[in-house]
Amino acid sequence: MLNDVTFGQYYPAKSFVHKSDPRIKLLALIAYIVSLFLAKNFYALAACFVVLVTTIIASRVPFGSVMRSIKAIIVLLIFTAVLNLFFHGGEHLLVQWGIIKIYREGIIFTVFFVFRLFFLVMGSALLTLTTTPVELTDGIESLLTPLKWVRFPVHELALIMSIALRFIPTLIDETNRIISAQKARGADFESGNIFKRIKAIVPILIPLLISAFRRAEELGDAMDARCYSGSKNRTKYKKLKFGWRDVIIVLLFAALITGVVMLNIYAYRIFPEIYEYIRLS
Amino acid sequence: MTEIQENVITFDKVKFSYSGSNGWALNGIDLSVKKGEFLSVIGHNGSGKSTLARLINGLLEADAGTIQVLGMNVAEGKNPIEIRKHVGIVFQNPDNQMVASIVEDDVAFGPENIGIERAEIGRRIEWALKAVGMEEYRHSTPARLSGGQKQRIAIAGVLAVKPEIIVLDESTAMLDPKGRREVIEVIQRLNKDEGMTVILITHFMEEALLADRTVVLNRGEIVLSGTPEEIFENGDKLEAFNLCLPRITEIVNSLNRGGMSVPNVLRPEALAAAVAENFKSAGIEEGRSSPVSPAEINSAHEWDIDIKNLTFTYSRKSAFASKALNGINLHIDEGEFFGIIGHTGSGKSTLVQHLNALIKLPQAEKKYRKKRVKKGQPQPELPEITIGEYDLSRKKCDFRKLRSDVGMVFQYPEYQLFAESVFADVAFGLKNFKKELTAEQVEEAVRSSIEMVGLDYNEVKDKSPFDLSGGQKRRVAIAGVIVTRPKILILDEPAAGLDPLGKKEITALLHKLHEEWCRTVIIVSHDMDEIAENCTRAAVISGGKVEMCERPSELFRHGEALRGLGLDTPLTSKISEELAKSNITIECDCTAEDFTRKVLEVYGGGNA
């Protein structure tokens, strides 16, 4: 049942993007998202696209894998796109069926909106494709470090996240085993109405919970036995290193934000006729 | 002997009881462990072994008495961290001691906790991983490792704190023989080369033998203490403490009863030498036992299992595709007590899951369509399985009925119990399969299967399954499968994790089931002695293929080949192998009983 769930979607490779610092990748993603939302015209959006494609090529992740991430939002995307298309106002009326009016501005806006969302999802997917969950946690912990000054339990939070990540495959295995065992005893998870199906989950959920508690207890003992006593006097073996790759990424994304801002202001000078035609109202 | 006999651990009249339970878990323990000593601790489930381990490093606090570790008083326990720096514990379940998703991060966890600086942590990781022979796996993820490898990582994680004492709390219980061997080798090396004090808590008598000294716990008290030879000499006593003799001691005893004089040795080579010595002094230069009696031929074939060309790949379409089965052909006759042997990851679990269609054959899937084959290319061979009248390759096969006829008991089946009462849990399967039964019929079936597994129906039926002991839980879980009266019963490692007596009881139960309820019993096991003692035939699975499939008497002649596959031979064939070097050929069905009979036969024959 859970066979197809591969946790996270890390694509193992040794590329430029894989090797760079997760903190920088996180910050770069934020910069990229900000740029997407700052972009006010197609030229600026195209700049984001160029950066996205460059990064994908540099990551050596197949284009297909990145595109696959769109599947998750496709329904939402079509729904909002259709609403936008039908109900966006404008000056140049193209088609009219009853109350539905499609304007040229509506089409342009919808296209813009769809691409922006596409780029957003693809960019985020690229981060998880090139960064292991462990690196991500480390990155998040490191970026949150300043919060220690306001007594925010950064270390504990990071430990919880990394233990959760560590146990996800173990618990998936366990769930599969319990499902098989109950199936062998005639349990039926695939037919019946919703209530029957919810009821059928009980024989999986209870053993799973019990085992999770047992594991938690044993893990607690093992951590105690290995001298764990919170973050006090604790050192950290892994240090994230800021390298030349990260400098390049910082420069690239700084350039992106500047570029987008410049294009927002000066784009009308580039091919004015085209700009005028596809201008967003 | 000039080494300094310094006590590193001293227990003085230590008592401990868990809150909410009446009675002492440990009742007046006096124990001292010397520096560099290798101590093994044995005892039945619930005898207080694990409690003892947890008291040493202050995970539990004694109710009475004092515990000294390296001159520090544990009971005062103001700073348990100081003690834990010196006493490392490796627990039973390798999965539940890993904190991080990458090996080196996990090993680093201990040193990080005690504030070691980074460069030194790096050196310690390197040293600890080398000590357990896992240096290549530094950047791997534990999820991809075998049980034995994971447990070695757990040991490395403990070593990285640089303790002087290492305690193993049944750390080998969940491993296959290869993993167990790996862990034990590491422990022996640490004890001999690094001079580390080792306390090994174990259910395996064969492991307890390796220690300098053995302590036997019974109901919270130390009842025996001495060298392993001394402990295993008095077998009757051990049985009174709910323990069993190591198999080798049983053989020694029955040889002595048969008129030979064999000292109380603990290793197969030593036993073979002693037996050879007996032959020599009796003037027998060479000898050959009578051959193994031919197998009884079973005439009924109503419930034969036939597997042809079974191939299976996990996550076929993804990047992580892995071939689990690679062309299995196997025929199991009705009436067999069949064994399936293979180390972890050999594909044996995948194989048995096909037998009750938990994994369906591709042709039986609803979506399956015949592939068009280009002209000139051979038609691809499709896997086939038939069990009695069921043809598992047909979409129309009644898989629900099949599952009630082919019962499947998973590994650690007690972990699948869920209901509020034993009755409800056992009835679960029955109600799923046979909805038409009346309440009386259900009760009758549940009663008879609970009684079949040796529990008192009236006593347990209303209890919560979670209030039972480990062995009882397993029995309830088995009852929940046999309640549908399956014709074929498959059990994956039925005795795993039980104490020696529990193992014996489960084995006896399986034979009773085989005789009275089920036509065929199939056990998946990596315990060669278990296979040798019980099975009519066994198949060795390796790399998704059937490497051998024979009666134990034939199978275990291929000692070299089996070891090459990461497996082992039973004790009797080890001794036979050694004896063959002294021109004594023993042909037996590999059970201890037949082995001693054949040895005595040659011995007596020569004497006469």
Report the pLDDT value the prediction gives residue B1, as an integer from 0 to 100. 40
Q: Which residues of B touch A214 (CB under 8 A)?
A: 96
Which among B104, B105, B416 is the nearest to A178, CB-wise? B416
Report the pLDDT value the prediction gives residue B145, as an integer from 0 to 100. 83
Substitution target in B85, B89, B112 with the highest count of A β-carbons within 10 Å is B112
Closest CA to B503 of B467, B537, B471, B525: B471
- Could you tell me how many residues make up chain B? 608
pLDDT at A2 over 70: no
B550-B301-B356 Cα angle (round to 5): 80
Cβ atoms < 10 Å from Cβ of A272: 10
Q: Quick one: closest CA in A to B313, which residue? A: A3
Report the pLDDT value the prediction gives residue B297, as an integer from 0 to 100. 64
pTM score of the predicted model = 0.83
Backbone angles phi, psi at A132, to 5 degrees: -70, 155
Q: How many A/B residue pairs have CB atoms within 8 Å?
A: 157
Report the pLDDT value the prediction gives residue B5, as an integer from 0 to 100. 64
Q: Which residues of A touch B143 (CB under 8 A)?
A: 169-170
Q: Are B333 and B378 spatial neighbours (Cβ–Cβ below 8 Å)?
A: no
Report the pLDDT value the prediction gives residue B4, as an integer from 0 to 100. 53
Which segments in chain B show pLDDT lower than 50? 1-3, 608
The most confident of the ranges A50-54, A122-126, B20-24 is: A50-54
ipTM: 0.86
- Summarised one tens digit per residue, pLDDT across range B296-348 is 666 678 889 999 989 888 766 665 667 888 889 999 999 899 999 987 778 88
Backbone angles phi, psi at B329, to 5 degrees: -120, 125
Three-state DSSP state, B302? coil
- Residue A137, chain B, CB below 8 Å: the answer is no
Cβ-based burial of B326 (10 A; exposed 0-12, middle 13-18, buried ≥19) = middle
Task: Give B139's contacts (C-beta < 8 A, 6+ positions apart).
Answer: B102, B103, B104
Q: Where are the beta strands (DSSP E) in A141-207?
A: none
Q: In the sheet where B322-332 sits, what is the strand order?
A: B322-332, B305-314, B384-387, B390-391
Q: How confident is the prediction for chain A on average, in pLDDT?
A: 86
Give CA–CA dist B118/B472, Å, rounded: 49
Residue A7 pLDDT class (50, 70, 90 cuts): very low
Report the pLDDT value the prediction gives residue A4, as an integer from 0 to 100. 34
Which among B80, B105, B428 is the nearest to A203, CB-wise? B428
pLDDT at A145 over 90: no
Cβ atoms < 10 Å from Cβ of B177: 17
Structure letter (DSSP) for residue B96 = G
Backbone angles phi, psi at B489, to 5 degrees: -120, 125
Report the pLDDT value the prediction gives residue B553, as an integer from 0 to 100. 86
b/e code B80-101 from CB counts within 10 Å (16+ = b): beebbbbbbbbbbbbbbbbbbb
Report the pLDDT value the prediction gives residue A8, as an integer from 0 to 100. 55
Q: Which residues of A touch B110 (CB under 8 A)?
A: 226-227
Interface of B with A in 314-343 (CB under 8 A): 314-315, 318, 320
- Residue A183, chain B, CB below 8 Å: the answer is yes
Structure letter (DSSP) for residue B14 = E
Helices B571-580/B592-607 angle, 10° precision: 30
Interface of A with B in 200-259 (CB under 8 A): 202-203, 206-207, 210-211, 214-215, 218-219, 221-229, 233-239
Cβ-based burial of B280 (10 A; exposed 0-12, middle 13-18, buried ≥19) = exposed
